[in-house]
Chains A and B, each alone.
Chain A
Amino acid sequence: MGATTRLLCACVLGLHASLALAGPKIEHWTAPSGARVFFIESRVVPIVDVQVDFAAGGAYVAEATEDKAGVAGLTRSLLDMGAGELDEEKIADRLADIGARLGGGADQDRASVSLRTLSSAREREAALALMQMVLQQPAFPAAVLEREKARAIAGIREADTRPGSIAAKRFARALYPQHPYGRVPTAESVARITREDLIAFYRAHYGARRAVVSIIGDLSRAEAEAIAQRLTAGLPDAPEKVSLPEAALPLRDTVRVEHPATQAHIQLGLPTVRRGDPDFFPLLVGNYILGGGGFVSRLMKEVREKRGYAYSVYSYFQPQRSRGPFQIGLQTKREQAQAALKVVEDVLAEFLARGPTEEELQAARRNLADGFPLRIDSNRKLIEFLSVIGFYDLPLTYLDDFPRKVEAVTAAEIRAAFRKHVRPEHMVTVIVAGE
């Protein structure tokens, strides 16, 4: 049954923390394989979650004379479509037999394989055996690859008719014209990908020294140690990860794309910060006030509440391995695209010029600090923290440090951080279907 909500979940920064509550205890070690492991024991529900993240996202696809964007995603999706002595149907059957769920995917930085299973011995053992096989013995069957390429190409061609997808791709290309983050898979680049490309990418990127293993659930540290070693001992001998190139800042530009949609899709932004940037907390708190705080943000008030211009309007920073984007997004009736964009630009300019009021700052700090327990009240939420802390080398004390850092943010720091990172002379605007 369909349901319609008052607001689509806005994109928000992932990591928040609290004052009142110390974070759960994170244990960390390096497995004999070289993989780094992050573990939380949590006995309240009889389940185990395991996630293995590799520095094997789209940005790690080497520049080549022939563009093969899409190889990272296809490598990841074919891992569980045939491994060891099992074909894709047997893998699917065995997972279904034990009620386990194997998931994951690839973004620009990470390729992830995740498992959720019941913690009872037989189910857990069968699930881990499958995960191990998928990680260590993927077969990349040629027939499966051809089928998945066809499905991926169909998906790309469909997406290229949708205004939201068109805007997102144009935005990525305009922000990162010379950087891997701007390389978007196309029907042509996917068509070029061969089985050899997948095998080579797997061997070069799915190594233990590039892996972070996150484990949470109903098991002991000793069991977690054995699991982490078992899942990573037989991985390819891939080199340690190398850093991604620095993203240059684009020149201010506006890209307009014609489209018959009833609504214009508008995105504005520029590359900003890496994970671990010391300005993260001022940007986090400031962005809550600007466009991250849902219904109470300035953008929401000015664009939606006061003028009825849009259902959804948001802003966020997405820190990544290399400079991730700051982005403002909205959709509005095509005839009023210019008027809505003007409001957004004015709100941003005002915020850059004056920063938050003291009242706004207090409210933002209170929500982010007091609301922290909501962000860690399930294993599902906690394992995402574990993998981000592990993958991006954030301090183990991150959850505990966070509230103090949020509470310590001043209005002057927010102003300074926004002026430093959100520079109008480098902002790119993409408008699809605007008049």
Chain B
Amino acid sequence: MQSLEEVRHALHARLGATDVPKLVNTRVFLRTGVNLSDIRGDQNADPALVARVVGALHDFGYPLS
């Protein structure tokens, strides 16, 4: 995945919902600084950050690939 928007869409597809569960979003935010419900423009295409968020989601049991 190339962007956090793609990560968010993939997570929505995996969860079958349009909202990231609040607790999971908060856990990801505290771990990475990314709010998947309101992605900052300067973060969106940062490859290292995308990898960190994908990794955190994987750790929490939400693998996206």
The yes or no verdict on A and B being binding partners is no
Residues of A in contact with B (beta carbons under 8 Å apart) = none
Residues of B in contact with A (beta carbons under 8 Å apart) = none
